[in-house]
Amino acid sequence: MAKLDIEQFMHDHYKVEDFAHLHWSGNFQEYLDMVLEDRRIARNSFQRIHDMIMSFGTSQYTEYKKEITRYHFFDDPISNGKDAVFGIDVHLMKFVNFFKSAAAGYGTEKRVLLLHGPVGSAKSSIARLLKRGLEHYSRTDEGRMFTFEWVDEEASEILGGQKVFPSPMHEEPLKLMPVEVRKDFLDTVNKGRKEGEYKIGIRGEVNPADRFILNEYLKKYNGDWVKVLKHVRVKRLVLSEKDRLGIGTFQPKDEKNQDSTELTGDINYRKIAIYGSDSDPRAFNFDGEFNIANRGIVEFIEMLKLDVAFLYDLLGASQEQSVKPKKFSQTDIDEVILGHTNEPEFRKLQSNEFMEALRDRTVKIDIPYITRLDNEVRIYQRDFNPEKIPHVHIAPHTLEMASMWAVLTRLEEPKKSDLTPLQKLKLYNGKTLSGYNEDNVKELRKEAVREGLEGISPRYIQDKISNAFVKHGDTGCVNPFMVFNELESGLKHHSLVNNADQMDHYREMLAATRQEYEDTVKNDVQKAISLDESAIQTLCSNYVDNVKAYTQKEKVRNKYTNKLEDADERFMRSIEEKIDIPDSRKDDFRREVMNYIGALAIEGKQFDYRMNERLHRALELKLFEDQKDQIKLTTIISKVVDKETQEKIDVIKSRLIKNYGYCEHCATDALNYVASIFAKGDSAKS
């Protein structure tokens, strides 16, 4: 292995000036000058998070005639999409609106933000995104923030014999401003504020330890606040969950081993010897989750599992924006309180009359499962793709079929008798269906109030796809059948399948998904067989000639006998029947085709069969029907194949590989499967 010169490597890849930039320190006046130059420095936590989300940009799209905003922050650009959240943009808009309202001071800053939804619906992912985003944002110039520390070269008793005493709750330096002069100070600094700029505000006072030190220095200097400032060093604050700076996480544990001091801090008994009293705030560890999350965000995992004692602290922290450390006065905090919970826990909260105060202080945002197929597929593509699993080929439609079943389990049964769950899924995914427009689909969504709050979670799908890779990865290819088997066998042991009706429903949806795959793979093979462009073009020309003769009541010339004959009705119907055009509608369809060709001719354009999707499909199916008997597809499963047929089969296989993403292995499987379907059909006919 080649030698590595670590000094040269660090010189090329590590910039000391970046470290220095993030560890800037200066005096109070220098900090004030920066704030006046850029008021964003003094933002509160809600304003900072809202600006952080908006800094990644937005885009708009229309769904069901409604303008939807997509916030690119939820694509997780920081971690290259690792925690990207798809398919719930409407709910994420409500989520961002909470921060927009709180940033403007409209009242939601005094609420607990509660993400509510079924297991595996991305609640934790959203919380992780916010925390990671805030860490990243605090390292940028746009998101820079500052705190302070007390310094005394004489290591005086005020600092307990230390030369440096960091603010234990990394407070905003402007909070050192005396309450008596704040109004005049804020009026002065906010005078030149531009439109759209935040107003600089100072809310509350510093924590008990900083307050004690401030008062002691004021006594020392006979109330001269300017002299006190000589002991204040302002420094850059970079938020970090690992370093417990501005980002906290609290998770319920065993009640016997947990008390509320984990939220609000506790006395440091070793320091009592230094300061002489357990009521001296300098002897207190302000290291509870509420304390260390000051200026940032605290996440409560499974919040409603908390003991009642913890919820009392939560009430004060949200409404009063303060916490009560043991033996000390109310301490002001500036942080976002984010909780998440599942539905059974939330129902318990609703039915508990003693929790009324918490319910009143909570803003609930629903985070449901995805109900749009395309977005569900994206979840699994992120984990199962050629980059992450280069040695195993994923057969076409594998992830799509797993996603389809997952979405089907989450949809409510359509109230319209002429609509199947699978058709409903396709409508939600943007497909068109005769008799349904955007308004109808919007109505379908409105009437299904619990859609997305029940069903199979993405975690179950991910686990079963992983199982398929472990069991069948040595074959070099994983196909939908392998995944179907894993999905079905796992249901027996699924802890969230509570009753027989639910099990029956899931199996019924799996059967519908298997049938859809059968149709899809047949379609792929049919396309591969009828991929001969010249043959389709010839078939199309023949059809158009006959339709033209029929609609204009003319004769068509037979290319073999060169005689004029009537339009070939049997031939035209053999194509039209492939796309379910009834005899009563044939004239309308034929006129539609001729009118379209005529309109193109006026514009000087030539008709191409690919321009009409329905006709294109009908021609493919007709060509497939004409050719499948020549190819003798059913002979594949008999294992007795003559040379000529084998050559034709190899051509179809190569088309599946080249044009439809199959590999040698899954192309063979697909052909065998489709051949067995036709063999069953042939035996049924006989």
The mean pLDDT of 589-606, rounded to a whole number, is 86
The mean pLDDT of 527-553, rounded to a whole number, is 83
- Whether residue 201 lies inside any domain: the answer is no
399 shares its domain with 439: yes
pLDDT digit string, tens, across residues 418-454:
899 999 999 999 887 777 888 888 888 888 888 999 9
Query: Tokens 């005394």 appear where?
Result: 152
Highest mean pLDDT among 226-230, 501-505, 535-539: 226-230
- Please report which confidence band the pLDDT of residue 315 belongs to, taking 50, 70 and 90 as the band edges: confident
Which one has a higher pLDDT value, 223 or 12? 223
pLDDT for residue 614: 80
Give yes or no for a contact between 176 and 232, defined as CB atoms under 8 angstroms apart.
Answer: yes
Picking from 119, 135, 123, 120, the residue whose alpha carbon sits closest to that of residue 79 is: 135
User: What is the DSSP code string of 275-330?
Assistant: HS-TT-GGGEE--SHHHHTTTSEEEETTGGGS-HHHHHHHHHHHHTSEE--TTS--
pLDDT for residue 683: 46
- Whether residue 485 lies inside any domain: the answer is yes
Residue 347's alpha-carbon distances to 123, 448, 507, 638, in angstroms, are 17, 19, 28, 59
Q: What is the identity of the amino acid at 413?
A: E
> In the chain, what percentage of residues exceed pLDDT 70?
94
CA gap 606, 598 in Å, rounded: 9
pLDDT for residue 684: 45
Residue 631's alpha-carbon distances to 228, 545, 638, 645, in angstroms, are 94, 28, 14, 6
Highest mean pLDDT among 125-134, 268-277, 322-331, 495-504: 125-134
When mean pLDDT is compared across 118-122, 282-286, 372-376, 529-533, the lowest value belongs to 529-533
pLDDT at 247 over 60: yes
pLDDT at 635 over 60: no
The mean pLDDT of 80-103, rounded to a whole number, is 94
pLDDT for residue 641: 61
Which one has a higher pLDDT value, 489 or 194? 489
- Please report which confidence band the pLDDT of residue 637 belongs to, taking 50, 70 and 90 as the band edges: low
pLDDT at 328 over 70: yes
Residue 450's alpha-carbon distances to 25, 63, 157, 410, 458, in angstroms, are 53, 20, 63, 9, 18
> In the chain, what percentage of residues exceed pLDDT 90?
49
pTM: predicted TM-score of the whole model, two decimal places? 0.84
Contacts of 567 (CB under 8 A, 6+ apart): 546, 547, 549, 550, 556
- Whether residue 28 lies inside any domain: the answer is no
The mean pLDDT of 608-627, rounded to a whole number, is 79
537 shares its domain with 494: no
Picking from 530, 548, 527, the residue whose alpha carbon sits closest to that of residue 539 is: 530
The mean pLDDT of 237-251, rounded to a whole number, is 94
Alpha carbon 675 to its chain's center: 40
543 shares its domain with 469: no
Angle at 212 between CA 209 and CA 217, to 5 degrees: 125
CA gap 110, 315 in Å, rounded: 10
How does DSSP classify residue 436? B
- Whether residue 612 lies inside any domain: the answer is yes
pLDDT at 632 over 60: no
Number of H helices, E strands in the chain: 28, 19
- Whether residue 40 lies inside any domain: the answer is no
Work out how many domains the chain is built from and give that number: 2
pLDDT at 625 over 90: no
487 shares its domain with 539: no
478 shares its domain with 575: no
Last residue in a domain, options 583, 601, 623: 623
Q: Which domain holds residue 384?
A: 373-507
pLDDT at 336 over 90: yes
Give yes or no for a contact between 407 and 371, defined as CB atoms under 8 angstroms apart.
Answer: yes
- Whether residue 561 lies inside any domain: the answer is yes
In which region does residue 265 sit, left (phi positive, over 0), alpha (psi from -120 to 50) or beta (all else)? left
498 shares its domain with 417: yes
pLDDT at 206 over 60: yes
- Whether residue 549 lies inside any domain: the answer is yes
pLDDT for residue 509: 95
436 shares its domain with 541: no
Contacts of 614 (CB under 8 A, 6+ apart): 579
451 shares its domain with 547: no
Q: Residue 668 is encoded by which pair of tokens?
A: 């063979």
pLDDT for residue 686: 41
Residue 165's alpha-carbon distances to 237, 329, 387, in angstroms, are 15, 21, 50
How does DSSP classify residue 473? G
CA gap 59, 61 in Å, rounded: 7
- Please report which confidence band the pLDDT of residue 278 belongs to, taking 50, 70 and 90 as the band edges: confident
Last residue in a domain, options 581, 603, 623: 623
Q: Residue 72 is encoded by which pair of tokens?
A: 């690119």
566 shares its domain with 458: no
562 shares its domain with 459: no
pLDDT digit string, tens, across residues 145-165:
999 999 998 878 899 888 999
The mean pLDDT of 629-655, rounded to a whole number, is 69
385 shares its domain with 495: yes
Picking from 210, 213, 207, 240, the residue whose alpha carbon sits closest to that of residue 333 is: 207
CA gap 177, 171 in Å, rounded: 12
Return mean pLDDT, the chain: 87
- Whether residue 437 lies inside any domain: the answer is yes
pLDDT for residue 411: 94
Last residue in a domain, options 593, 623, 653: 623
pLDDT for residue 406: 96
pLDDT digit string, tens, across residues 31-66:
999 999 999 999 999 999 999 999 999 999 988 778
394 shares its domain with 441: yes
